[in-house]
Amino acid sequence: MTKMSGAKVLVESLEQQNVDVIFGILGGAILPVYDALCGNEKIRHILARHEQGAAHAAEGYARASGRVGVCIATSGPGATNLVTGIANAYLDSSPLIAITGQVPSTGVNSSYMIGKDAFQEADIIGITTPITKHNYQPRTIAEIQPMVNAAFYIASSGRPGPVLIDLPKNVQSDIADVDMGITGKIEARGYKPALTPDLTKISKAVDLLANAVEPMILAGGGVISANASDELTQMSDLLIAPVATTFMGKGAFPECHPLSVGCIGMHGNPAANRLIGETDVLLAVGTRFSDRATANLDTFAPNAKKIHIDIDPAELGKNIDVDVPIVGDAKVSLKLLHNAAAKKLPKMKVNAWWSKRIKETKEQLSPLLKDRPKELVPKALLIELRKLLPVDTIVTTEVGQNQMWSALYFQALKPRTFISSGGLGTMGFGFPAAIGAKVACPDRPVVDIAGDGSFLMTEQELACSVAEKIPVIVIVLNNSVLGMVAQWQRMLYNRRYMAVHLGKTPDFVKLAEAYGAQGLRVNSIEEFQKAVKTALNSDVTTVIDVPIGSENDVVPFVPPGCGLPQQRGDY
Amino acid sequence: METDQTKVISVLVENKPGVLHGVANLFRRRNFNIESITVGLSENIDTSRMTITVKGDEKTLEQVVKQLAKLIDVLKVEELEPGHFVMRELALIKVNVPTTKDRSDIINCVEVFRGRIIDVSTDSLTVEITGTPDKLDAFLKLMQTNGIIELARTGITALARGAKTVRIDE
């Protein structure tokens, strides 16, 4: 037993979880924790310029590294500013720990404040209950370490997600005798994620696959979080099945692979959208069949028997009915399924017609195999960018057209190299996430493919990236318009533009320079090539401003309410 | 459209602050329809038992069970099999009694339904009655002729019959 403050207990508990970096902003109600961090050599604190940036950076760190990301803020507005970042991590199932200060819970006389609408008090437990996997508010020092242990276990295991720890100020500053021994026991008896699938389900799945004529695989973000890309590739090789991914699954399967057909969805690759309408057995792994991925469910894979593997039992049967639901970790389940299927392999005939059909469909429909424009338009730019960047470069995106163009035209070749806000669709996510990813992988280039509208939502983190010496590259596809909503107004609202034109957007070169970053503007593919090379060799964050026309559409497009086969638009 | 059905779910949860908030929040967020919810201690001091009656189609009810099971503070969720559980609800009913005849009519009724009079005043009687929701409905229908001044129903609480249990297996 040692006498320690609650704040010190928190910091030591974080060290026990091997936390090496936290992103945050301090304030009154979290001061004791910052005091305990002062002089700490194991944990690097990165000062964000807005708490939302801290939360997104922590998520970028988590998704690039596969480890738990940690962000920290004070009570009240500090905590509520984290909310968008927490919701983002919840919808994209990213392991995140958010630590918030809270006003004192007890004290002598009337010095306790929780529930009294104290200065900078917000009920962050109430606010985050629907957007966290779990949340904790330790009321005694003895609770801190067990809660931190449980929080990390819950955030990182099963279907990952955010966990919030709200720490009243008195619990941080009080002193108590504490035993910091590591017990390894997790105090969360109601939480038992099932990793290993039911073997009878596996054999049912094998039966379906063995009789499949036109098998296809759909891989979601769960494949990436389970680090199951190798198992996915083995499965695809065995079945000779084309692999489509969801947007969140982008990178789970190398998009240069002959069997890769890209993303399905509203702005998906037409080859993927067409083949999923033809397959007779669909093996879906680690996906929740989101509306943006499936479009209208009546015409989603209508001919297919469906096998669905997911670690979250609640996802099975939630959005679509499946023939074989399998609860399990993607990696473990795919390995078992592969081994079981391989034994039956002699019975699995390779369907030459299907292989030919896959090849043909790609040649006919895949946007990357169609004409490549010479001028400075998003497609040409993103194809060029792939050539300029090393294979292991981490790319983040903002939200909107920049994001969907990236999905269509920028090939992700490895898992955890394409990080974007898929579920919540948070504009402003990409830049702070890039900062977090760079902290996790300092030796690899990190590029945020941005739009001008999105970048303006979190551009203040330029200050963070410059001051903390975290050099990333931001490519602003600058069309002076909130492009995706403008596209919807153009296509679906009869060109009645309302509140989408940004007018004179800031001079992004000067903006970058004002922060001490490097700003470059390009007006041709040649200049773009040069700028990216300069940025890759720079030790300071570089913003590359790329003026593009304001009426570029992301096409093809499945209008809301329609099914994937109703994709339209020349591309 | 699938037809709606009503199901009774027995849920064991951690006996600590905030758990009811989490469960109620889930029902609101997922658009599930709670008919009634009762909470109290279970056989273990550290565990509470919630009995939740929900209405919805088969698919929704499956989601209710699965989503509840995901909550960290929920230890066990089980749907009680129709016909294989016992359930009771308690109601307190304050009834108008303008005349002596009304009073004796009500007392007779209460006896038939095995209720109890628990408070008497010059113009009213308060009745305690326990039973299945159907029995309570029937009794309330009779009382409506006199005029119900106030009514408080607890919602149902339930246990599986016989050897079948919903317990935490350690």
Q: Which of A8, A23, A113, A169 is catalytic?
A: A169
Q: Is the pLDDT of residue B1 over 90?
A: no
Select A199-368's CATH number: 3.30.2450.30, 3.40.50.300, 3.40.50.1820, 3.40.50.1220: 3.40.50.1220
Look at residue B98 in the predicted model and tell me its pLDDT: 85
Same fold across A199-368 and A371-564: yes
Q: Which pLDDT score is estimated for A1?
A: 87
Q: Which one is the CATH code of A371-564: 3.40.50.970, 1.10.260.40, 3.40.50.300, 2.60.40.10?
A: 3.40.50.970
Q: Do B73 and A190 touch (CB under 8 A)?
A: yes
Which residue type does A375 have? E
Helices (H), A112-140: 124-128
State whether A130 and B29 contact (CB < 8 Å). yes
Are A285 and A330 within 8 A, CB to CB? Answer: yes
| pLDDT given at position A346 | 62
CB-side neighbour CA atoms (13 Å) of B149: 11
Which residues in chain A have Cβ-Cβ distances shorter than 8 Å to B25?
129-130
For residue A343, give the nearest of A196, A209, A195 by alpha carbon. A209
pLDDT digits (tens, 9 = 90+) for B63-84: 999 999 999 999 999 999 999 9
Q: Which residues contact B13 (CB under 8 A, 6 or more apart)?
A: A190, B19, B23, B47, B48, B49, B50, B71, B73, B74, B75
Q: Which amino acid is at A413?
A: L
Q: What is the mean pLDDT of chain A?
A: 95
* Active-site choice (A4, A12, A23, A51): A51
Q: Residue A68 corresponds to which amino acid?
A: V
Structure ipTM over 0.85, yes or no = yes
Q: Is B25 on the interface with A (CB under 8 A)?
A: yes
Residue range B82-111, pLDDT digits in tens: 999 999 999 999 999 988 888 999 999 999
Q: Cα–Cα distance between A80 and A170 in angstroms, integer?
A: 21
Cα–Cα distance between A259 and A242 in angstroms, integer?
5
d(CA A565, CA A296): 10
Q: pLDDT value at position A369?
A: 84
Q: Report the C-alpha gap between A105 and A91 in whole angstroms.
A: 31
Sign of CA dihedral A295, A570, A241, A409: negative
Q: Is A400:A451 a contact under the CB 8 Å cutoff?
A: yes
Name residue B14's beta-bridge partners. B47
A51 annotated active-site? yes
Q: How far is B21 from chain A (nearest CA, A)?
A: 8
Residue A484 known to be catalytic: yes
Contacts (Cβ under 8 Å, ≥6 apart) of A31: A101, A169
- Name residues whose C-beta falls within 8 Å of residue A385's C-beta, 6 or more positions apart in sequence: A410, A447, A449, A475, A528, A532
Nearest CA in chain A to B25: A130
Instruction: Sort out which chain A residues have CB atoms less than 8 A from B59's CB and list them.
Output: 317
**Strand partners for B150:** B94
C-alpha neighbours within 13 Å on the C-beta side of residue A446:
32
Q: What is the pLDDT of residue A108?
A: 61
pLDDT in tens, A368-390: 888 778 888 999 999 999 999 99
Nearest one of A232, A247, A231 to A405, comparing CA atoms: A247
Instruction: Give mean pLDDT, residues B9-16.
Output: 96
State how far the Cα of A286 lies from the Cα of A283, in Å rounded to an integer.
Answer: 10
Distances (CA, A) of B39 to A190, B14, B34, B133: 18, 11, 13, 17
Q: How far is A116 from A100, CA to CA, in rounded Å?
A: 18
What structural domains and CATH numbers belong to chain B? 5-79 (3.30.70.260), 86-157 (3.30.70.1150)
In this predicted structure, what is the pLDDT of residue A184?
A: 75
Token pair for B64:
């209710």
DSSP character string of A519-568: EEE--SHHHHHHHHHHHHT-SS-EEEEEE--TT----SB--TT-BGGG-B
Residues A254-286: b if buried by 16+ CB within 10 A, e if exposed: bbeeebbbbbbbbbbbbbbbbbbbbbbbbbbbb
The DSSP string of A232-281 is HHHHHHHHT--EEE-STTTTSS-TTSTTEEEE-STT--HHHHHHHTT-SE
Check if the beta carbon of residue A10 is closer than 8 Å to that of residue A138.
no
**DSSP string of B18-84, one letter each residue:** THHHHHHHHHHHTT-EEEEEEEEE-SSTTEEEEEEEEEE-HHHHHHHHHHHHHSTTEEEEEEPPTTS
Query: A198: buried, middle or exposed (CB in 10 Å: 19+, 13-18, 0-12)?
Result: middle
Chain-chain contact of B63 with A318 (C-beta, under 8 angstroms): yes
Q: B75: which chain A residues are within 8 Å (Cβ-Cβ)?
A: 189-190
Query: What is the pTM for the complete model shown?
Result: 0.96
Distance CA A170, CA B3 (A): 53
What amino acid is encoded at B75 in this protein? L
Q: How far apart are CA A448 and CA A474, in angstroms?
A: 5
> How many angstroms separate the Cα of A553 from the Cα of each of A383, A523, B84, B136?
17, 20, 60, 63
Residue B26 and residue A130: Cβ atoms within 8 Å? Answer: yes
Q: What is the pLDDT of residue A182?
A: 78
- Tell me which residue has tokens 């209460």: B110
CA pair distance A525, A531, nearest whole angstrom = 10
Long-range CB contacts (within 8 A, 24+) of A38-47: A40/A11, A42/A15, A43/A11, A43/A14, A43/A15, A43/A19, A44/A20, A44/A439, A45/A21, A46/A21, A46/A22, A46/A435, A46/A439, A46/A464, A46/A468, A46/A470, A47/A464, A47/A467, A47/A468
Domain ranges of chain A: 2-178, 199-368, 371-564
Q: What is the pLDDT of residue B2?
A: 64
Q: How far is residue A419 from each of residues A36, A159, A169, A252, B132, measured CA to CA in Å?
A: 33, 18, 35, 12, 55
CATH superfamily of A2-178: Thiamin diphosphate (ThDP)-binding fold, Pyr/PP domains (3.40.50.970)
Is A169 a catalytic site residue? yes
Helices B58-70 and B19-29, packing angle to 10 deg: 150
Burial class of B27 by CB neighbour count within 10 A (0 to 12, 13 to 18, 19+): middle
Element (H, E) at A401: helix A401-409
B31 touches chain A (CB under 8 A): no
Predicted local distance difference test score (pLDDT) of residue A374: 84
Of B25, B63, B70, the CB nearest to A129: B25
Residue A473 has which token pair?
């590259």
What is the rounded CA–CA span in Å between residue A13 and residue A165?
13
Collect the ranges in chain A with pLDDT lower than 70: 107-111, 345-349
In this complex, do A130 and B14 lie within 8 Å of one another by their Cβ atoms?
A: no
DSSP H or E run through A339:
helix A330-343
